[in-house]
Structure 1
Amino acid sequence: MSGERRWRFALSKRWLGYLGLLVVFAIACGFLSHWQFERRDERVSENARITGNFDREAVPIESELASLDAFSINQEWTPVLLQGRYLTDEQLLARSRPHNGLPGFEILTPFETEDGRVFIVNRGWIPTGDAQDSPDHVPAPPEGDATVVARLKPGEPEIPGRSAPAGQIATIHLPQFAEELGTDRVYTGAYGLLSAERPSAETGALTTKPALDEGNHLSYAFQWIIFAIIALLGLIFGLRAEYRDRNPDDPKVKEALARERERAGRRRRTDAEIEDELLDRAGA
């Protein structure tokens, strides 16, 4: 029988189905691997922004944000300096904000600068109340003139259908905050995480410098590639095994089986086998 006819079984519906599954699985592994590479690239970029911006000297906000809607992701974590006063009566709480595994809120207090613009300052995290779905205590900002240093963060997208009770906001969607304030003088490109304020006052738990960690994305990306290779090798070995079963008279199959039996015969004896042999000799 010719070699071509011996391999004809590989074109059966069953093996073509296995091949189709392998192709789909390999594509899925490639997609997931690429996704992990992209996530790692995002973390690398984030780490670079933290390293380059977090510990910079604060600059006046108007020199960093030229307009109310100006913001570039490369400016994230950059400290800006504001002078003016807090609008305490316009303060809102961002709800559903976990921190160290606990539910809570973030305090969002508008800060009116000396030129009349309004910048939203996140004054930290506070927990939910002991007996109700609202804080037991909300720290108040300093009264009167104040100087604030805050680190820039991009606003959050609006989530359709998510609402919040009076005095709260579902997401830090800055245009919605501007509507709540009823003014078009609000910075809508970015808000700020409080770093320092003078005079000082009680705050919530402030954001600390994030850890510079790339995560396990690179190893996960390579794992998905390895899974695809393992699946391919499994298909190849399955074809090889069935070929041997169907063609025991093939000289190459006979030669391969003979080599395998020879290797099995020369395999290293186990400690138990050696011990049994010694006992048999002693008994004799």
Structure 2
Amino acid sequence: MTAEHLTVERFERHRDLLTGVAYRVLGTVADAEDVVQEAWLRWSEVDASDVRDDRAYLVRVVTRLAIDRLRRVRARREAYVGSWLPELAATPDATEHAELADSVELALLVVLETLSPLERAVFVLREAFDLPYAEIGEVIGRSEATVRQLARRGREHVRERTPRFDVDRDRRRRLTERFADAAVRGDLDALTAMFATDVSLVGDGGGKAKAPRRVITGADKVARFLSSIASVEGARRFLESAGLPPASGFGMEITDVNGGPALVVTADGRPVTVFSLVVADGLIQTVFLVANPEKLSRL
């Protein structure tokens, strides 16, 4: 095996890990892939024989690149049309890797957006990948004491703001199925019965597809909104808003997205809307509606 092939093999061995770190720090698959590609370019230029621990070296490079990129994209997200939600990622092996799946839950990633880039990186490396504090300090170029302080602040912040959610995926899947059935039938009573009184719907159309620009709160309001967009006419208006051609057929599939069951609505086979539910105490607490086509392309 040539030195070049060995260098490629050593990098590819860690690609999934590196993409996972970058995605959790950045919240978008596209940015994560760009960061990993940039890390590859840097890796290909170093003398790999001088690297004692490939994994530690590459995680350090990717994390630092992700922190720098997050600082740059924050301004764009602040000017985003409506609510900004993370880009969705399919997780077909969510039940096999439950701990890692939990760390990409949409509700958690939304809260991570409120951390500073350093706090977010420390939280991801510690809580999702269980790196020692000393190693995280080497990754971000901070002392172990500083890392512990960042980790504590991040944990407290996340604990205070992350909504409780049911970790039983089978139960969540059944409720998602009932949610889909009631929405399609326009059954307001059935929808309302599934919702917590103060349920909220957060929509992300990014100005490219029809979605509420403000959070809708309250069981009755959320149920009426969902019933209106689930109709044939509502679906037609949605496709027009997204600049998509009329569809001859719509479909629905419940699949694992970001570590939990989600309802994926398709038009002629292409994903056009995803509903991800935050469930606690047997009731839907939050409905995340992602319709920005740029955030559905990976599905």
TM range (shorter): under 0.3
Instruction: Return the TM-score normalized by structure 2.
Output: 0.21
**Higher RCO (CA < 8 A, seq sep 6+):** 1
More helix by share: 2
Larger radius of gyration: 1
With normalisation by structure 1, the TM-score equals 0.22
